[in-house]
Structure 1
Amino acid sequence: MADATGDTHAEDTTRRDFIFIAVGSAAAIGAAVTVWPFVDQMNPAADTRALSTTEVDLSAIPPGQQIKVMWQGKPVFVRHRTPEEIASAVRDDYAQLKDPQFDADRLKQEDGQAGKAEWLILQANCTHLGCIPTFAEGVYHGWFCPCHGSVYDTSGRIRSGPAPKNLPPAPYVFMNDTSIRIG
């Protein structure tokens, strides 16, 4: 008789354990199914993801010219610099600057690779109050913010005026020789 009771008790324990595991698994799956829509709604919308990158055709920009493109709702300057502008920027690497930075450091791509010296891709908001500077004005032949008088050189570095920092480079990568992807 003792043997029969022991076997029944061991069998009940095994069934009970199985039932607990099955109910716990069903509850976990039910909780995950319930929570997932709340987690998923925190992802960016499709229109926001579409604005996360911008591709630019560089073949349409002649040397000495620039275009302004929009990336994530912000303006970005894509400048095709002339050899004179590049030489001026490199020459001013050791000038008295508010926010010292070498021209070569401002050309780094998103992946950390060195950029091409003739292409300068900058976020186009003045670091003082967010105005959009104009090009080819000012003493340093770079950008000039007409709102408060900040003057930037041909590398987008602040040279005079109230702006505290250089125009920040936009994150970009060369797709091929004639196009870049910003963002």
Structure 2
Amino acid sequence: LRLARAAGAIKPSVNARVGALLARPHATNAVATPAYSELSSVPLYQQEKKIERFTPGDENRRPFAYLVIGSARFAYMAWTRVAVLKVISTMSASADVLALASVEVDVSSIPVGQNVTIKWRGKPVFIRHRTAAEIAEAGAVNISELRHQETDAQRAQKPNFLIMLGVCTHLGCVPLGNAGDYNGWFCPCHGSHYDISGRIRKGPAPLNLEVPPYKFTSDSTVLIG
């Protein structure tokens, strides 16, 4: 009976202590929960990622944004101006370019058997007033034997005047007149020989001396270009 009474007295005391322990929050498992009023004042994106960000429309970012936008507009306007000027410059040729596009020459002042050299588009142009013997010699050549086959009539609109560019077709040197093995033109750079019609006869040049576009506006005047 005494044991039973002692056990009955101990049981309530143990239960009370266990209840007290369960009611006390454990120090290691305690989580501080912020109040709702504190969370409601913080934007949602800051609650989720917990990093410091500028809020939309922050005044500290406006000068940088204005700088970027202004620089982009300035660059675009500058590029547009350059593009427009380039188009205009290509469409309207200058007076110097128009002057060099064609040149008029009075060939009546060239003595028979002599050459003159003029400048056209930055290149030398040979004009020779040929003799009757030279015309006959040029016409008697068998074109089948030529490297670049052209008749003299194809190269000279008027037999007594031969007009061609003074630029060797090998590497662009200027040939010498009244020289070479064919009494025409000789290129001293690499030894190309041209006849009295400006046709390549010997040496490394692959083509005849080029004939520029021209027309006689009168018996004594020729327009080149």
Query: How many percent of aligned residue pairs carry the same amino acid?
Result: 50
Please say which of residues 39-48 and 129-138 is displaced more in the overlay.
Answer: 39-48
CA positional deviation for 1:94: 3.0
| Equivalent in the alignment of 1:180 | 222
Q: Deviations over 1:87-113 (max 9, x none)?
A: 111011435111111110112xxxxxx
CA positional deviation for 1:138: 1.4
Provide closer, same or farther for how the CA distance between residues 36 and 150 of structure 1 changes in structure 2, counting only shifts above 3 A: same
**CA contact 1:93–1:103 (8 Å) conserved in 2:** no
Q: What letter is aligned with 2:115?
A: Q
Q: What letter is aligned with 1:58?
A: V
Alignment of 1:16-165 (within 5 A): 39-43=87-91, 44-94=93-143, 96-107=145-156, 115-165=157-207
Q: Deviations over 1:6-65 (max 9, x none)?
A: xxxxxxxxxxxxxxxxxxxxxxxxxxxxx9766432122221111101111111101100
SS at match of 2:118: strand
| Equivalent in the alignment of 1:8 | none
Q: Deviations over 1:122-171 (max 9, x none)?
A: 01100001111011111211100011100000000000000000001111
Report the TM-score, using the length of structure 2 for normalisation. Answer: 0.60
SS at match of 2:217: strand
In structure 1, what is the Cα distance between the partners aligned to 2:166 and 2:215?
18
Higher relative contact order (CA 8 A, sep 6+): 1
In structure 2, what is the Cα distance between the partners aligned to 1:124 and 1:169?
9
In structure 2, what is the Cα distance between the partners aligned to 1:123 and 1:158?
13
Count the aligned residue pairs. Answer: 142
Alignment gaps of 5+ in structure 2: 1-82
In structure 1, what is the Cα distance between the partners aligned to 2:119 and 2:206?
24
Report the TM-score, using the length of structure 1 for normalisation. Answer: 0.73
CA positional deviation for 1:66: 1.0
Q: Which runs of 4+ in 1 moved over 3 A?
A: 35-39
Say which structure is richer in helix.
Answer: 2
Alignment gaps of 5+ in structure 1: 1-34, 108-114
The CA RMSD over aligned residues, in Å, is: 1.5
